[in-house]
Structure 1
Amino acid sequence: MKKITVLFVSFALIIAVLLGAVACSASSQSSSPTAPATTTQTAPGATVEVIIKDLAFLPSTITVAAGTTVTWINQDSVLHTATSVTGVFDSGTMSKNDSFSFTFSEKGNFKYFCTFHPFMTGTVIVN
């Protein structure tokens, strides 16, 4: 009887470990892809879009050539801005589906944020 109890407990532990492993494996898989954090170099005169969605700038960092126009498009249901930390550009308030464009003629790193949601930040790197 004692031997059967030990076997039963051992079997139950093995099943519990296997079920736990399967559950962890399933929960670690994401059902929605994440947007890339950066985008690659562009040719001068090109236009690059930054989507504002789910309280984030997507992508949050872009690298462009001097002469590139960046267009921010608010696809979120709340108000946003794209405002340069140094005052180089400011979109003003953008409602859903509003957009703002700025052409970067000077090289440098341009950090920006949303004045309504200061945790939303991004960077335009101009080469």
Structure 2
Amino acid sequence: MTERIARLAALVPFGLLGLLASAAAQECQTTHEVEITFQGARGFKPRELHVHVGDCVRWVNGTHIEHSAVALDRSFHTGTLMPGSANVIKFDTPGDVPYTCGPHPPMVGKIVVEP
């Protein structure tokens, strides 16, 4: 019984992270999705995404290796996205935000944040 309680207690931080991620996503006006893929055009799909101030972008790693999305101006970094994982970034400042994959610099994309 004690082992079972210990295993359940170990899952609590992950549940809290899920709640925090959900709360953060609710602050977004709209959440858009960028898929990291090796099918068709390799890389970020769509390669260029237009959003509005207050919108969020969710990067989803649909490949079998780790990736990330890192703004060239360092204004955001998704952190390492393991296969099947995702991360959400909120955009509050208008402008063009080119980005790359940290482990794979030839993979590039751009977020265009409109007022």
With the length of structure 2 as denominator, give the TM-score of the two structures. 0.70
Query: Corresponding residue for 2:46?
Result: 59
C-alpha deviation, 1:58, in angstroms: 0.3
Amino acid in structure 1 at the alignment position of 2:46: P
Residue 49 of structure 1 is matched in structure 2 by 33
Confirm or deny that 1:73 pairs with 2:60: yes
The gaps in structure 2 that reach 5 residues or longer are 1-27
Matches within 5 A, 1:101-112: 101-112=88-99
1: distance between equivalents of 2:56 and 2:63?
Answer: 21
Q: How many residues align?
A: 84
Match of 1:93 in 2: 80
Equivalent of 2:102 in 115, 119, 126: 115
Structure 1 unaligned regions, length at least 5: 1-43
AA matched with 1:72:
W
Query: What CA distance in whole angstroms lies between the structure 1 residues aligned with 2:103 and 2:74?
Result: 16
Q: Which runs of 4+ in 1 moved over 2 A?
A: none
Cα-to-partner distance string for 1:75-118 (whole Å, 9 max, x where unaligned): 01011010110111111111111111111011000010001110
Higher RCO, Cα 8 Å, sep 6+: 2
Identity %, equivalent residues: 30
SS state at 1:57 partner: strand
Could you say which structure has the larger radius of gyration? Answer: 1
Distance in structure 2 (CA, Å) of the matches to 1:59 and 1:109:
15
TM-score when scaled to structure 1?
Answer: 0.64
